[in-house]
Amino acid sequence: MSIVSSLQKSTIESLSALFSQSFTEKDFQVNQTKPEFEGDYTVVMFSLVKSLKLSPDAIGNQLGGHLTKNYPQLFSKYNIIKGFLNLTVSDAYWVDLLNKNHNDACYGKKEMNGKKVMVEYSSPNTNKPLHLGHLRNNFLGWSVAEILKASGYDVIKSCIVNDRGIHICKSMIAWQKFANGATPESTGIKGDHFVGEYYVKFNDAYKLEVDKLINEGVDKATAEKEAPIMKATQQMLLDWEAGKPEVMDLWKRMNGWVYDGFDVTYKRIGSDFDKIYYESNTYLLGKDIVQQGMDKKVFYQKEDSSIWIDLTADGLDEKIVQRKDGTSVYITQDIGLALQKYEQYKIDQSIYVIGNEQNYHMKVLQLICQKLGMPNADNIYHLSYGMVELTTGKMKSREGTVVDADDLVDEMVATSKQHTEELGKVKDFTEAELKELYDTIGLGAMKFYLLRVDPKKTMVFNPEESIDFHGFTGPFVQYTYARIKSILRKVEDVHGSLFIDHSKAAMNDEPSTMNLLPSEKDLIIAAEQYPSMIDQACNEHNPSVIANYVFHLAKTFNSFYTEHSIANAETAGKKQLRLQLASITANIIKSGMSLLGIKVPERM
């Protein structure tokens, strides 16, 4: 039980004993005490004034006296400041917590709760490589999945690959026209980059053809429809839907090139999936559901035979669910896939990690599923996130101005190499160790920078800033971890074991009765908050909670270590305590960073 939960429980028991009434945690607030006041946690009692007919100070004095008298293992003293009850948690409580958890690698994580969640993320198109936007999506989805696991959920990581449609045919047509039989193997270009180049070539050729028609007197709208390369692409899509063998063979071949490329990128960035869906297998899903919706009068048919749903009463608009020719639209496919996911896995929640430009689409999806009475409808959750831009501005894939994920990773690793060499602390590393270190720092910097921001916010990614060893960055946290491990290794080298004997004879002072210095206490308090930080990150589907927390913990340790020696502590008991502090801090940093998908080096 966390200190806040213990405080709430003891406060409820004390209030009930003092005033012979029933109380709940909703009847008062518990906050951390502000730095300018003495105390660790503050009970705000203004909401109790009306029911108890007493002033806040009177309530606080009675409550504070009762808590310190009846819960001495929790509270050592209290004070009242303008109606706020500030409680000081006893040093014995903090030391006992440290003794129990300092070497627990699973500290903060929960037992399985029997609930199952699917997290869908990545969702790439097979006409181009992954880019910076995909990186934020992948890092968010993967991290949320890991945070849910740490909170006791059975998690299925899934991906829907957009492997069909007009955009895929554009790359295929361009390859037929311009490649002269070239392949990734013959050119030495990674498969997804290779296909992406032909997507750009398509748009270059398309612009030239449209301009040519306009110069010949055709209006722009007609020119865009009649451009020969576009008409050829539309015919290819029809041929694909008809299953024309030569088109299907080319489609499979080019998609294979892309998948090979994706696999390399996913492995490098540490992204993985338990289940992959392909739009080519799901685009016909939902057609049966449309008929069910007609039978339930959820949908209606227009005169041209297209089928719609009217959501105007729900503050939205009318939405088509089936075209007049009987083909499904994206929302229909999504409804079908949502049902398929539930039927396959019986999930308690389905989380979609999708950019905020799809907020409306996701509202419509859930609303239609609810109106159809689908069993999982209320448990659809859209983890909406803001777009990520570079300092140079927005990116456009059709114009070839997108920053490919692979190129960005390479840049981050190269930058980490430069910064690490400037520090000059890795002269005894082997080449293999250096390569692993540069990858660890470079990827860690990028992931931390992209995850430290609340997902809902649009952000600008600055590669140079992200790798600053002294800023609000992954490398700062990684360096703190490596520093702690170095301290612990040195102690172990000297004494042969990390933790000294607990007996009085060896220690001369018992840790359980030891008075904590302010920076020691600050570090224990920060460490104690880790389980509640996981809870908050899980409830909010927000990895930035963990990123901000581990950064705060690292800063708190550095402040503590600046003030106090570990190896040359004043007494054996203090040395034991500080070793435990260092150990729990290192364990939490490693655990917290792993929830973000970030490795921490043992030395750097």
Predicted pLDDT of residue 510? 53
Confidence band for 512, pLDDT divided at 50, 70 and 90: very low
Confidence band for 304, pLDDT divided at 50, 70 and 90: very high
Whole-angstrom Cα distance, residue 164 to residue 258?
13
Predicted pLDDT of residue 495? 64
Place of tokens 């080298």: 493
pLDDT tens, position by position, 155-192:
999 999 999 999 999 999 999 999 999 999 999 999 99
Estimate the crossing angle of helix 572-595 against helix 518-528, to 10 degrees.
Answer: 30
Sheet hosting strand 307-310, strand order edge to edge:
300-301, 307-310, 318-322
Tokens for 174, please give them. Answer: 């361009």
pLDDT tens, position by position, 249-295:
999 999 999 999 999 999 999 999 999 999 999 888 888 899 999 99
Mean pLDDT (the chain) is 93
pLDDT tens, position by position, 354-402:
999 999 999 999 999 999 999 989 999 999 999 998 887 554 444 445 7
From first CA to last CA, the distance across the chain in angstroms is 36
- pTM, two decimals, is 0.91
Report CA torsion sign: 587, 588, 589, 594. Answer: positive
Tokens for 108, please give them. Answer: 């903060």
Do 567 and 41 contact (CB within 8 A), yes or no?
no
Whole-angstrom Cα distance, residue 235 to residue 126?
19
Whole-angstrom Cα distance, residue 177 to residue 175?
5
pLDDT tens, position by position, 88-119:
999 999 999 999 999 999 999 999 999 999 99
Whole-angstrom Cα distance, residue 168 to residue 398?
12
Predicted pLDDT of residue 492? 82
Whole-angstrom Cα distance, residue 466 to residue 448?
8
